[in-house]
């Protein structure tokens, strides 16, 4: 199995455990994905980036919506939570509005140090996230 196949398998396993809540499920996916990669294959943290960016959708009143996704170093995107946009707007697309990019290691380190996504998880420990957005 290649490094990218391993990362896609980890992503699938993590996404099967998550629930779309439209209030951070994409961030929780990224956070849990990075944690799982670190726990099982830490050498693969260098093979992807976590992108904090935006998505253009019709229901955003012209304001790109915040979103987080994984971009593998081979250019492939892993984004199981994008469905929260495409279910309501099949023309949804990534925005060019000021995306921030972190290596897997940087995102892991930031999560450990208490970024907004890890703090939200701490504030709402009873929330379980699952990609089922229906």
The residue that leads in pLDDT, 70 or 62, is 70
Residue 129 lies in a domain: no
d(CA 66, CA 84) in angstroms, rounded, equals: 12
Q: What is the pLDDT of residues 72-87, one digit of tens each?
A: 999 999 998 888 888 8
Helix, strand, coil percent values for the chain (each to nearest 5)? 45, 20, 35
Residue 134 lies in a domain: no
d(CA 57, CA 91) in angstroms, rounded, equals: 7
Mean pLDDT score, 23-52: 86
Yes or no: say if 69 and 53 are a contact pair by the CB < 8 Å rule: yes
The range of the structural domain enclosing residue 78 comes to 3-123
Residue 131 lies in a domain: no
Give 133's pLDDT tier (boundaries 50, 70, 90): very low
Residue 100 lies in a domain: yes
pLDDT of residue 127: 57
**Angle (CA) 88 5 42, round 5°:** 100
Q: Maximum CA pair distance of the chain?
A: 44
How many distinct structural domains can be found in the chain?
Answer: 1
Residue 42 lies in a domain: yes
Tokens 């279910």 correspond to what residue? 87
24-62 burial code (b ≥16 CB/10 A, e <16): bbbbbbbbbbbbbbbeeeeebbebbbbbbbbbbbeeeee
């Amino acid at each position: 199995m290649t490094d990218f196949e391993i990362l896609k398998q980890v992503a699938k396993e993590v996404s099967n455990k998550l629930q779309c809540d439209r209030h951070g499920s994409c961030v929780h996916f990224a956070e849990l994905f990075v944690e799982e990669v670190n726990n099982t294959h830490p050498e693969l943290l260098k093979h992807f980036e976590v992108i904090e960016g935006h998505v253009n959708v019709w229901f955003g009143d012209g304001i790109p919506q915040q979103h987080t996704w994984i971009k593998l170093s081979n250019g492939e995107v892993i984004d199981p939570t994008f469905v929260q946009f495409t279910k309501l707007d099949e023309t949804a697309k990534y925005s060019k509005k000021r995306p921030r990019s972190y290596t897997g290691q940087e995102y892991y380190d930031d999560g450990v140090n208490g970024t907004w996504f890890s703090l939200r998880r701490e504030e709402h420990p009873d929330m379980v996230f699952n990609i089922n957005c229906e």
